[in-house]
Amino acid sequence: MSRVLITRPQEDAGPLAALLVDRGCSVLIEPMLEIEPLPVSPVTDLVGVQGLLFTSANGVRACGPEADRSLPVYAVGAATANAARQAGFRTVNGAGGDVASLARLVTGHCDPEAGRLLHITASDRAGDLSGLLVRAGFVVRRLVLYRARPATGLSATTRAALAANEIDAVLLFSPRTARTLIALIMTAGLLAACRNVTAVCLSAAVAEAIGEPESWRSVHVAGQPDQEALLAELFYDRESRHARPLALASGS
């Protein structure tokens, strides 16, 4: 059985862990970011807003029950779109998993003359969604409702598992997560253990953030920036070219 390290925030790690367990993996959850709501007013001032932009499921959770569920939602990818539907939004459009595809989705569905767009986001954000849309003629308001605080250390469980070569693969969803993980591994003096770990990355930018490829057993990049493609990369056997558990370090 392969053991996979999940680095997502706690709110997203549980559903992902369940998927992996269903596929026969054991999992270890080590969030690299903690999502912290900010003490700001709820989303109630929606006069003149033609749509809501979400670049993370955390934004959906942060917006609260006050947001008008009848407003169209434009979500960065499938997971964020699903979170919006589960939160009660009735019209949800999902993009291809990155900011550029979200900008294309919005420009294809919205009219700059129809009103503002409201982007619910974190204090630190990846990509320049507002810039892309402003250049297309839209007025975009950013509403910062939460922040993502990086972890300050690895748990004893994760340190022990790395030291004992018991982690076969790690899933990495963002450059910030990747940089945080590699910094904490180096601080713990466990960089050599990465040579027994396969790093599976959501994008090329994430892969660049984990340092030299030679530091890892192997580095794989998802074919497109979404969770489904990431898991397909994890379970793809390159020798047989079939979707099955990757032949990872444990050999199990």
d(CA 44, CA 66) in angstroms, rounded, equals 6
Predicted local distance difference test score (pLDDT) of residue 239:
41
Domain range 48-149, CATH architecture: 3-Layer(aba) Sandwich (3.40)
Predicted local distance difference test score (pLDDT) of residue 159:
98
Name the strands in the sheet holding 116-122, side by side, starting at the edge strand that comes first in the sequence: 33-37, 140-150, 116-122, 49-54, 73-75, 92-94
Domain ranges of the chain: 48-149
Q: What are the average pLDDT values for consecutive 10-residue runs of the chain, which has 252 residues?
A: 90 94 95 92 87 95 90 95 96 94 97 96 84 96 93 98 97 96 97 96 94 93 92 72 42 27
pTM of the model: 0.85
Predicted local distance difference test score (pLDDT) of residue 39:
87
Query: Which pairing describes strands 49-54 and 73-75: parallel, antiparallel, or unpaired?
Result: parallel
